[in-house]
Chains A and B, each alone.
Chain A
Amino acid sequence: MNKLSELAKYLVDLKDQEFIELVKKRLDDGDDPMEMIQECNTGMVEVGMRFERGEYYISELIMSSEILKKAMVYLEPLMGDLKKGPSKGTVVIGTVKDDIHDIGKNIAATLIKGSGYEVVDLGVDVPAETFVEAVKKTRAKVLGLSALLNLTFPSMKAVVDALKEAGIRDQVTVIIGGAPCNEEVRQSVGADHFALDATKGVKICQQVYGK
Chain B
Amino acid sequence: MNEEIRKTYDERLARYQAAIALEIPDRIPISSGSNYFAEIYAGNNKQQFLYNSNQWLESDRKFINDFPEVDNLRSGRFWGPLIDATGWNLYKLPGRELSPHVQFQFVEGERMKSDEYDLLINNPDEFIIERVLPRAFNEMKERGSVRAYMAFLKGGIGAAMQGALMRQRGMTLQTELGMPLPMAGYMLAPFDNLADGLRGLNGIMVDIFKQPDKVMEACDAIIPHIVNTALALADPLRRYPIFMPLHRGNVPFLSPKQFETFYWPSFKKAMNMLIDAGYTIRAYLEGDWGPNWHHFREMPKGKIICDIDVQGDIFKAKEDLKGYQCIAGGMPESTLILGTPDQVRERTKLLCETVGQDGGYIINGGCSIPYDTKPENYRAMIDAVLEYGRYKDSIDFEPQINPNPPEGWKPLPKGMVTPWQVKRDELGEIKGDENLIRIGWETLEHMAFNWLWAWIW
With A and B bound together, what is the CA distance between A150 and B105 in angstroms? 12
B311 in contact with A149 (CB, 8 Å)? no
B334 in contact with A197 (CB, 8 Å)? no
For residue A197, give the distance in angstroms from its CB to the closest CB of chain B. Answer: 7
Among A66, A150, A188, which residue has its beta carbon within 8 angstroms of that of B333? A150
Chain B residues whose CB sits within 8 angstroms of the CB of A100 once the complex forms: 92, 98, 105, 107
Name B's A-contacting residues (CB within 8 A): 92, 98-99, 101-103, 105, 107-108, 201-202, 205-206, 208-210, 251-255, 258, 287, 309-311, 332-335, 337-339, 370-372
For residue B254, give the distance in angstroms from its CB to the closest CB of chain A. Answer: 6
B333 in contact with A62 (CB, 8 Å)? no
A28-75: which residues lie under 8 A (CB-CB) from chain B? 51, 56-60, 62-63, 66
For residue B343, give the distance in angstroms from its CB to the closest CB of chain A. Answer: 9
For residue A192, give the distance in angstroms from its CB to the closest CB of chain B. Answer: 17
Chain B residues whose CB sits within 8 angstroms of the CB of A14 once the complex forms: 209
For residue A134, give the distance in angstroms from its CB to the closest CB of chain B. Answer: 22
Among A59, A99, A149, A185, which residue has its beta carbon within 8 angstroms of that of B254? A59
Answer yes or no: A179 CB below 8 A from chain B CBs: yes
B253 in contact with A57 (CB, 8 Å)? yes
A57-B339 CB under 8 A given contacts A62-B201, A63-B209, A180-B310: no
A115-151: which residues lie under 8 A (CB-CB) from chain B? 149-151
A185 in contact with B338 (CB, 8 Å)? yes
Q: Which 4 A-B pairs have the closest CB atoms?
A: A62-B205, A98-B102, A57-B255, A184-B334
Apart from A63-B206, A184-B335, what 16 extra A-B contacts exist at CB < 8 Å? A14-B209, A51-B252, A57-B251, A58-B254, A59-B208, A66-B205, A99-B105, A100-B107, A149-B103, A149-B105, A151-B103, A180-B333, A180-B334, A184-B332, A185-B334, A185-B338
Among B92, B102, B254, B338, which residue has its beta carbon within 8 angstroms of that of A151? B102
Total contacting residues, chain A, CB less than 8 A? 28
For residue B374, give the distance in angstroms from its CB to the closest CB of chain A. Answer: 12
A150 in contact with B337 (CB, 8 Å)? yes
Chain B residues whose CB sits within 8 angstroms of the CB of A59 once the complex forms: 205, 208-209, 253-255, 258
For residue A66, give the distance in angstroms from its CB to the closest CB of chain B. Answer: 5
A182 in contact with B202 (CB, 8 Å)? no
How many A-B pairs with Cβ below 8 Å?
81
For residue B318, give the distance in angstroms from its CB to the closest CB of chain A. Answer: 20
Answer yes or no: A203 CB below 8 A from chain B CBs: no
For residue A182, give the distance in angstroms from its CB to the closest CB of chain B. Answer: 6
B254 in contact with A150 (CB, 8 Å)? no
With A and B bound together, what is the CA distance between A13 and B332 in angstroms? 38
A150 in contact with B252 (CB, 8 Å)? no
Closest A residue to B339 by beta carbon equals A184
Encoded as 1 (CB less than 8 Å from any B CB) or 0, chain A from 81 to 100 comes to 00000000000000000111
Chain A residues whose CB sits within 8 angstroms of the CB of B311 once the complex forms: 179, 196
With A and B bound together, what is the CA distance between A196 and B258 in angstroms? 22
A63-B205 CB under 8 A given contacts A150-B333, A184-B339: yes
A184-B252 CB under 8 A given contacts A59-B208, A103-B201, A151-B102: no
Closest A residue to B99 by beta carbon equals A98
B338 in contact with A153 (CB, 8 Å)? yes
With A and B bound together, what is the CA distance between A62 and B210 in angstroms? 13
With A and B bound together, what is the CA distance between A101 and B98 in angstroms? 13
With A and B bound together, what is the CA distance between A36 and B254 in angstroms? 29
Closest A residue to B333 by beta carbon equals A150
Closest B residue to A65 by beta carbon equals B202
With A and B bound together, what is the CA distance between A62 and B253 in angstroms? 10
A197-B209 CB under 8 A given contacts A150-B337, A179-B287: no
A179-198: which residues lie under 8 A (CB-CB) from chain B? 179-180, 182, 184-185, 188, 196-197
With A and B bound together, what is the CA distance between A180 and B124 in angstroms? 37
A62-B202 CB under 8 A given contacts A180-B334, A185-B334: yes
Closest B residue to A56 by beta carbon equals B255
Chain B residues whose CB sits within 8 angstroms of the CB of A185 once the complex forms: 334, 338
Chain A residues whose CB sits within 8 angstroms of the CB of B309 once the complex forms: 179
Closest A residue to B256 by beta carbon equals A57
With A and B bound together, what is the CA distance between A180 and B372 in angstroms? 13
Chain B residues whose CB sits within 8 angstroms of the CB of A151 once the complex forms: 102-103, 370-372
With A and B bound together, what is the CA distance between A153 and B371 in angstroms? 12
Q: Supply 29 A–B pairs (Cβ within 8 Å), ascending by A.
A: A57-B251, A57-B252, A57-B255, A58-B253, A59-B209, A59-B255, A60-B255, A63-B206, A66-B202, A66-B205, A66-B206, A98-B101, A100-B92, A100-B98, A149-B103, A150-B337, A151-B102, A151-B370, A153-B334, A153-B338, A179-B311, A180-B310, A184-B334, A185-B334, A185-B338, A188-B334, A188-B338, A196-B311, A197-B252
With A and B bound together, what is the CA distance between A197 and B288 in angstroms? 12
With A and B bound together, what is the CA distance between A59 and B254 in angstroms? 6
With A and B bound together, what is the CA distance between A66 and B107 in angstroms? 20
For residue B348, give the distance in angstroms from its CB to the closest CB of chain A. Answer: 16
Closest A residue to B338 by beta carbon equals A188
Chain B residues whose CB sits within 8 angstroms of the CB of A150 once the complex forms: 333-334, 337, 370, 372
With A and B bound together, what is the CA distance between A56 and B370 in angstroms? 32
